[in-house]
Amino acid sequence: MTVPLKILEEYFGYNSFKGLQEKIINRLVDENKHSLVLMPTGSGKSLCYQIPALIFEGGTLVISPLIALMQDQVDALRKRNIPASFINSTVSKSDREKRLNDFVSGEIKLLYVTPERFRKAEFVEEIKKASISLLAVDEAHCISEWGHDFRPDYSRIAEF
């Protein structure tokens, strides 16, 4: 049994992958190659970065434009005993600092942030201290579908 399949069973309760999930995960884990994953809603796109996040030594930074979605994702991961958190405008400054420190120290494996976080110099400086193995842009279609003026902070990701 492969490591990704073991993680799928142990943490997510499934005994097989759907569609191209396994191929995408292996491309990230075994070949260390970038992937653009375009799949319908409910087809398991998130597993394509969540499983590698549990395999890689460093953390996974997930950029998500939707606060409700990131909260749902983190809640679901925590229920599976996966150390995850989020930073967005609903989180107090002290909690943001703690969550960021926990990610930098490796206590949190997946950290979800909005693109606007990259506007904050203190965030960018602190996140650079983290050992990041994977950067995932969730709901990436929003970048082009909603227009480049909708979330211009996506362009700041390249600075990081």
Q: What percent of the chain has pLDDT over 90?
A: 56
Confidence band (pLDDT; 50, 70, 90) for 58? very high
The answer to whether 101 and 124 are in contact (CB under 8 A) is no
In whole angstroms, give the CA distance from residue 157 to residue 160: 5
In the predicted structure, residue 63 carries a pLDDT above the cut 80: yes
In the predicted model, what is the mean pLDDT of residues 85-90? 94
In the predicted structure, residue 142 carries a pLDDT above the cut 60: no
| Domains in the chain: ranges and CATH | 1-55 (no CATH), 57-160 (3.40.50.300)
pTM recorded for the entire structure: 0.85
In the predicted structure, residue 122 carries a pLDDT above the cut 60: yes
